[in-house]
Amino acid sequence: MSQWLDVCEVDDIAPDTAVCALVNGKQVAIFRPLATDTLFAVDNFDPVGKANVLSRGIISDIQGQLTVASPLYKQHFCLASGQCLEDEALKIPTYPIKTEGRRVYVSAH
Amino acid sequence: MSNKQKLIVIGNGMVGHKFLESLVDLNQADQYDIQVLCEEPRPAYDRVYLSSYFSGKTAEDLSLVSDGFFEQNKIDLSLNCKAASIDRANKTVSTESGEIISYDKLVLATGSYPFVPPVPGHERKNCLVYRTIEDLEAITESAKHSKVGVVVGGGLLGLEAAKALKDLGLETHVVEFAPRLMAVQVDDAGGQLLKNKIQSLGVKVHTSKNTLNITDGEHAVHKMEFADGEHLETDVILFSAGIRPHDSLARTSDIEVGPRGGIVINEHCLTNDKDIYAIGECALWGGMIYGLVAPGYHMAKVAAQHLSNSGTDTFEGADMSTKLKLMGVDVASIGDCHARTEGALSYAYSDEVNQVYKKIVVSEDKKTLLGAVMVGEAEDYGNLLQLALNKIALPEKPEALILPALDGAAKLALGPDALPETAQICSCYDVSKGAICSTVQDGAQTIGDIKAFTKAATGCGGCTALVTQVMNSELSKLGVEVNTDICEHFAYTRQDLYNLIRIENIRTFSDLLEKHGKGHGCEICKPAVGSILATCWNDYVLDNKHIGLQDTNDIYLGNMQKDGTYSVVPRVPGGEITPEGLIVIGEIARDFNLYTKITGGQRIDLFGAQLHELPIIWRRLVDAGFETGHAYGKSLRTVKSCVGSTWCRYGVDDSVGLAIELENRYKGLRSPHKIKFAVSGCTRECAEAQSKDVGVIATENGWNLYVCGNGGMKPRHTDLLAQDLDKATLIQYIDRFLMFYVKTADRLQRTSVWMDNLEGGLDYLKSVVLDDSLGMCEELETQMSHIVGTYQCEWKTTIEDPEKLKRFNHFINANEKDNNIVFVKERGQIRPANEKERSVQFSDAGNAHLHQTNKTEPTLNTDQIIASDVLQR
Ligand code: SRM
Ligand SMILES: Cc1cc2nc3c(=O)[nH]c(=O)nc-3n(C[C@H](O)[C@H](O)[C@H](O)COP(=O)(O)OP(=O)(O)OC[C@H]3O[C@@H](n4cnc5c(N)ncnc54)[C@H](O)[C@@H]3O)c2cc1C
Ligand code: SF4
Ligand code: FES
């Protein structure tokens, strides 16, 4: 079952931005949208630009879907599902994430 | 000798040249041996835009001849060659230099000349006309030693000439024989309003003045004496009292001319000799000389078709409607504006408060529009013209066409849909509605595209509004939403958002979203609003309120490269750098193993820095006195300079000093797109200032200010905004220019594209920046001084804030680096590994061919960077 890793404080992530955490050797981008109280965790690797940069993208609301716009070539990836809005065949991994008090926990294998 | 027929064209003016182009377009030019006799020292140029010669356009800019036109089409062009007579019996033309040339067919395109009233004294020195480039050179020359200038004639060209004199810095008068200005095009009431407006712009207008004599002045070169006993002293006199057709060749060879001049032609533009055509301003059709270029162009096409038997188009008169901006005042005249048609009725609307006058003339049954006059506001010109030309049925209350919309009521407008496909939208370039629509169907989406593909709206510009409407309507038919909303979250343009933020004093994105938007924002509106907030209030961009708005590069104050590393660009104002500065940069590059390159912007770019290295690198740069270069921002980039008068034997002023001052003044200004400047020390222009958003060139009399140039994807040369400025005025104008751009441009619109889309173009911009026609200059200057006064180096602020520095660790929870970043060596420096090199590296880490460089971590002294513990954690 999932192994939660204590990653950081919620307040280590400036509202409306993301950070990158190292979880079990994986780079996980953790988003803190202003729109919700929920955090999201997706893979940090941008499969189009082929670089570990998604945590540096802008959080974008595209017709009600919260996404991150890749800082390299601006494709949108859904924060909840990892689906790329521009390319149906493209989906990035998402990871379980939770908060306990002010601490943030992520699980990734 | 070839056995082709010989065609001689006399005159290579606008229409004569259009004739040649039409023959070429019809693929008929090689039917003939063509010889062109051109009296002027240069081939055809754009007389319509002649006045822009005063604002910096050169003879080459005005040329109408495409590269290699004469050579490729084997057309023989003789410059400085005036035809003296025609011998119709022997079919020869003799030139002033005595040459005799045979022809089979002859085209007269000799144009017209300015009429100079035979007032005694009219041949005195500095009594000039306004028709050719040589005339303009003479005017410029005489203006140098003059204080006062008078234009005789208050018609369309006269007012344009007056503007030129005013721009040359002369006290300017217009003397008109008739009781009103533009007597042909506007009525009494319109003429009166126009007079008031033009006087308020500093030109003195004297109507009902008949000049009797010109003699020596007491305080100036000339004294003009009028029939009413008054007189006026002046140094320069420009005659602009109408044009007369150049028809002497026809007169002396018995070709039929009209009673008041003009070579009589039929609907094929043939004269009474079946081998001789006449086109343009020398031709008389139906008793009329058409003093505009569009009818001349039509004649050129008709004659080319008839001559080469390749078409049946005929010339049957033309519409003389015009819209123009005279010294910033909109004036338009359509059709029968004097209500001369039998039974014609008119409606007039006059608003003295806003100085607007409009009149329409309708048919007796009130069903069709016959004519119109507009002064002070002419937005409806396109609509009204189409109503008149296409005889479209008028609404029940025709007055609604000129009355302002009262509360709530939508203004009555003729939708472009009401027009037939054949409706001519741009008369200068004869572009129909159908042509615009098919250009849109082929993919054009902006007014810039339409201009480039059809030339519509690139002549007098009067049709711009209508061309835009037709384009938008076609776009929406194609399902392309013509939506100027910035994105789904704000139903506003960037300009609207700018105004909302300023006027309502909005300080954060959340506030703006709450008051005026919906949803949560996206990568379009967030950076745009972030940029506007920064322009208005100039907060630190990485402040928690704003950080989520920053785009790829701004959010880490560096340019992200393809592999996720960053570049580092310290500011080097004006490109001037000390040896110590160079050494510091060199040492940093060496210590962090960064790829080093001199940029196209006269500074140094260090590539391959990883996120966690940025603060350490910047600490060292800031300590050595460097500031951020904003290479990442939509903001001022560089002010390039040439070495200038300090060292250069040609330099007239200190271009480096000025460049540094300008760069330091405007650094940090956030704008719709990046802004680049350059300053050159003399006209040799080694800094390439005429390709920049703002270019400055030193002259003997001060600084010349050029604006709206662009290199990049679609190069554009600058326009001259103002001349011979002292430094204080120069800076004042740049302040106004930049803030006006920032206020009104679209998102990601460089100044060049902004200018190309600015209604009224350069003249409008001048009126705003130089004459303060919008009354907002003081505000613009205050806004700029706020920006200048609140500048901070963002990197300095960042490295001094431990909280901010946390963000520069690649991982929030580990002190490791991004293992995906792989460099190889090339020419002695690092570069990102390519796919192939990476696959080798990952499958066989020890491969000997691959010089994967391990970037050695520089040793850090803990107080080199505060919060280094965060980074080292
Ligand atoms: C480094 C440099 C090339 C070089 O090695 O010389 C450069 C590099 C980039 N240019 Fe440039 N441009 C550089 C001088 C220029 C110049 C020359 C100049 O400024 O005199 C031009 C043409 C002049 C002009 O802009 O009018 C130029 C026209 C562009 C354009 C096209 C702009 C346009 O209006 O068409 C872009 C794309 C854009 O901005 O949308 C661009 C965009 C870029 C970007 C930012 C692309 C990107 O988003 O990654 C490059 C990243 C720079 C980096 O990572 O640091 N760069 N770029 C030059 C940096 C100058 C500096 O010191 O700041
Ligand atoms: C300042 C200015 C502004 C204008 N603005 C506008 C405007 O906004 N809109 C508009 O529609 N029109 C405008 N016009 C009018 C427009 O320029 C003319 O309608 C157009 O140039 C006419 O073309 P053309 O070829 O008939 O005559 P031109 O362009 O005058 O060309 C005639 C040529 O023939 C040459 N020539 C004459 N006789 C001989 C000879 N015997 N042998 C050899 N060569 C000879 C002349 O030197 C000249 O080069 C403007 C004109 C001026 C001067
Ligand atoms: S622009 Fe003039 S002053 Fe500047 S370097 Fe070139 S020649 Fe010298
Ligand atoms: S009508 Fe003159 S540019 Fe179109």
**Largest CA-CA distance found in chain A, in angstroms, rounded:** 37
3-state secondary structure B490-506: ECCCHHHHHHHHHHCCC
Query: Containing H/E element for B251?
Result: helix B248-251
φ, ψ for residue A30 (rounded to 5)? -110, 120
- pLDDT at residue B1, as a whole number: 52
Instruction: Indicate which of B514, B520, B556 best probes the interface with A, i.e. most A CBs within 10 Å of its own CB.
Output: B520
CA distance A1 to chain B (A): 22
Ramachandran region, residue B321 (left: φ > 0; alpha: ψ -120 to 50; beta: rest): beta
Half-sphere exposure (CA, 13 Å, Cβ side) for B318? 27
**CA B43, CA B136: separation in Å to the nearest integer?**
16
- pLDDT at residue B51, as a whole number: 84
CA of B586 to the centre of ligand 3 (A): 29
Task: Specify the DSSP class assigned to residue B201.
Answer: T
- pLDDT at residue B864, as a whole number: 37
3-state secondary structure of B95: strand
φ, ψ for residue A63 (rounded to 5)? 45, 50
**CA B228, CA B226: separation in Å to the nearest integer?**
5
Neighbouring-strand partners of residue B371: B335, B361
**CA B382, CA B427: separation in Å to the nearest integer?**
11
- Bridge pairing between strands B75-78 and B32-37: parallel
**CA B699, CA B689: separation in Å to the nearest integer?**
13
- Which residue positions in chain B have pLDDT lower than 50? 407-412, 844-873
Of A19, A22, A69, nearest to B523 by CB-CB distance is A69
**CA B310, CA B162: separation in Å to the nearest integer?**
44
- pLDDT at residue A2, as a whole number: 63
Tokens at residue B130, please? Answer: 């306004």
**CA B132, CA B134: separation in Å to the nearest integer?**
5
CA distance B563 to chain A (A): 5
Tell me how long chain B is. 873
- Asked whether the beta carbons of residue B564 and residue A51 sit closer than 8 angstroms, the reply is yes
Answering whether pTM is above 0.90, one says no
Of A8, A35, A63, nearest to B813 by CB-CB distance is A8
Angstrom distances, CA of residue B521 to CA of A10, B238, B389, B711, B871: 22, 59, 47, 32, 32
CA distance B510 to chain A (A): 9
Whether B150 contacts B224, CB under 8 Å: yes
Q: Give the residue among B542, B544, B541, B545 at the shortest CA–CA distance from B507.
A: B545
Asked if A59 has any chain B CB less than 8 Å from its own CB, the reply is: yes
Whether B745 contacts B673, CB under 8 Å: yes
* Nearest atom (ligand 4) to Cα of B467: 4
- Bridge pairing between strands B566-568 and B222-226: unpaired
Asked if B820 has any chain A CB less than 8 Å from its own CB, the reply is: yes
Q: Is the CB of B651 under 6 A from ligand 3?
A: yes
φ, ψ for residue B502 (rounded to 5)? -65, -55
Q: Is the CB of B712 under 6 A from ligand 1?
A: yes
**CA B266, CA B262: separation in Å to the nearest integer?**
13
Query: Containing H/E element for B163?
Result: helix B156-167
Q: Splitting chain A (109 residues) into consecutive groups of 10 residues, what average pLDDT does each group show?
A: 86 94 95 91 95 96 94 94 92 95 91
CA distance A63 to chain B (A): 8
Nearest CA to ligand 4 atom 1: B426
Q: Give the residue among B86, B429, B130, B92 at the shortest CA–CA distance from B263.
A: B86
Q: Give the residue among A84, A43, A87, A52 at the shortest CA–CA distance from A67.
A: A84
Q: Which residues of B touch A69 (CB under 8 A)?
A: 522-523
Query: Containing H/E element for B334?
Result: strand B329-335
**CA B13, CA B9: separation in Å to the nearest integer?**
11
How many CB atoms are closer than 10 A to CB B750? 25
Which residue does chain A place closest to B803, by CA atoms? A12
- pLDDT at residue B406, as a whole number: 59
Of B520, B548, B812, nearest to A21 by CB-CB distance is B812
Whether B430 contacts B424, CB under 8 Å: yes
Q: Which residues of B touch A66 (CB under 8 A)?
A: 520
Whether B258 contacts B284, CB under 8 Å: yes
Tokens at residue B299, please? Answer: 């004649």
Q: Is the CB of B457 under 6 A from ligand 4?
A: yes
**Sign, CA torsion B140/B145/B147/B150:** negative
Q: Give the residue among B360, B359, B184 at the shortest CA–CA distance from B288.
A: B184
> Could you give the strand order of the β-sheet that contains A76-78, starting from the edge strand earlier in sequence?
A58-62, A65-69, A76-78
**CA B677, CA B573: separation in Å to the nearest integer?**
11
Query: Containing H/E element for B156?
Result: helix B156-167
- Asked whether the beta carbons of residue A71 and residue B551 sit closer than 8 angstroms, the reply is yes
Task: Specify the DSSP class assigned to residue B549.
Answer: G
Angstrom distances, CA of residue B342 to CA of B181, B190, B339, B360, B363: 25, 22, 8, 15, 8
**CA A18, CA A30: separation in Å to the nearest integer?**
5
- pLDDT at residue B577, as a whole number: 97
Angstrom distances, CA of residue B747 to CA of B224, B488, B539: 54, 15, 20
Query: What is the number of the ligand closest to the CA of B643?
Result: 3
